[in-house]
Amino acid sequence: MNIACIVGARPNFIKMAPILKELARHPGHFHPILVHTGQHYDTKMSDVFFRDLDMPAPDHSLGVGAGTQAQQTGAIMERFDELCGRVKFDRLLVVGDVTSTFACAVSATKRGIPVDHVEAGLRSFDRTMPEEINRILTDAIADLFFVTEPSGVANLLREGHSERKIKLVGNVMIDSLLSHLDKARGLEKWRSFSLSRSGYALVTLHRPSNVDDGQRLQEIVACLSQVSQRIPVVFPVHPRTRKNLTGAVESPSLQLCEPLGYLDFVSLMAGAALVVTDSGGIQEETTALGIPCLTLRHNTERPITVQEGTNTLLGNDLGQLVTMISDITGDKYKRGTVPQLWDGQSSRRIVSVLESL
C-alpha cells in the first residue's frame, strides 16, 4: 500500500514521526511516501524536527514557502495534484488542522484517493480560527477518522459520519512525547536559561487572536513582565509573533528566544512550573505531563484537557492570568489526570486499522 504521508508545519512533524516509525515496522505491507509541502520551511520550524524526531528526509518536497493562507492553499493543491498524477498513491494520510492538511486532502479526494485524517473530529466551534475551517473541511471529505478524545467521536457522529469509519485511537502527539521524554529531560534545558527545575513559567503564543493585533500582544507581554517579578518567564517566540513584538523589555526574569527544537522545548516544558499558551498541541502535552497549563483562548477544540487534564481557558482575561499563576505557585491548582488511550500506543492502533483494510 503506497501511503502518501503529508507534513507541512511544525506540529505535523511531531504527529507524523511515530506513525512513520510504526509503518516502517511493516515493510511488506506499507510503502510510506513522505511529502513535505514546505508550509514551514526554515531550520527552526522544520529541519530541526527531522533531526530531533529521527525522521527520514521527505521523498517529495513541494517547496511552497511563505505566502497568505490562500496562496499557500492554492500552491499546495496545484503541486500535490501534479504529484498525484506522477506517483501512484493508494491512500493519503494527513494529520492535524493546518493548511497542508486540508489542501492535500482536497487534491487527493478529487483524484479518487481515500483520505485518512489523524486528529479528526476536534471542534472549537469558532470559525474565526483558520484551523477550525481546515478541520471541518478535511473531515467533510475524509474516509477514515482517527480520533484523540471522545468529543471528537461525538462531533463526527453529529455531523453524520458513519460510526464504522470513526476510530478512537488516542493521541499520536503523546506517542512522540513519551518516546522522547527521557532524552529531553536529560538535556536539562532550563540550565541554559540559568533557571532551576520547576522554578519558571514557559510561554508560547502564535494564534492570530493574540498576536496579530499589536496592541493585544503588547498587553500580554506587559502582563508577562509583571508575572516575571514573581516567577521567571521563558518565551520562545514563533515567527508569526516576532513580527508584532516590538519594544518587549527583556530581562533575566523575562527571557525571549527563538523557537526551540523539539527536544529542547520538551525539556523546558517538562521542567516548568507552569505553561501559558494558545497552542493546540501544548494543551495536550501539558495534560500528559501533569504540568499546569493556562490557555489564552476563549475555547478549545481539545475539551478533555480542561475536563480531565491540567488546562484552564482564560479567554483574554490577563487579570485572571496573574491570579491563576499565584494559585499555581501557591500549590492551589487542580491536578488533572491523563486521558484514556494517551499511552504512547496510538500509532500502533492506527497502523493496525490500516493493516486491516
**Catalytic residue IDs:** 206
For ligand UDP, the closer of residues 91 and 206 by Cβ is 206
Is residue 30 near ligand UDP by the rule CB under 6 A?
Answer: no
Q: How far apart are CA 42 and CA 47, in angstroms?
A: 7
Is residue 285 near ligand UDP by the rule CB under 6 A?
Answer: yes
Per-residue DSSP letter, 119: T
For ligand UDP, the closer of residues 262 and 342 by Cβ is 262
Is residue 260 near ligand UDP by the rule CB under 6 A?
Answer: yes
Q: How far apart are CA 81 and CA 351, in angstroms?
A: 25
Q: How far apart are CA 16 and CA 184, in angstroms?
A: 19
Considering only residues 334 through 353, tell me which ones interact with ligand UDP, judged by CB under 6 A. Answer: none
- Which part of the chain contacts ligand UDP (CB under 6 A), choosing from 147-155, 156-164, 256-264, 327-335? 256-264
For ligand UDP, the closer of residues 83 and 260 by Cβ is 260
Is residue 280 near ligand UDP by the rule CB under 6 A?
Answer: yes
Q: How far apart are CA 23 and CA 28, in angstroms?
A: 10
The three grid cell numbers given for residue 63, joined into one nine-digit string: 517547496
Is residue 39 near ligand UDP by the rule CB under 6 A?
Answer: no
The three grid cell numbers given for residue 345, joined into one nine-digit string: 500506543
In Å, how far are 214, 221, 286 from 170, measured between CA atoms? 37, 35, 16
Query: Is residue 17 within a helix (H) or strand (E), and if so which, with residue range?
Result: helix 10-24
The 189-228 contact track toward ligand UDP, x by CB under 6 A, reads ---------------x-x----------------------
Cα three-residue angle 262-95-84, rounded to 5 degrees:
120
**Contact set with ligand UDP (CB under 6 A):** 10-11, 14, 173, 204, 206, 236, 259-260, 262, 265-266, 279-282, 285
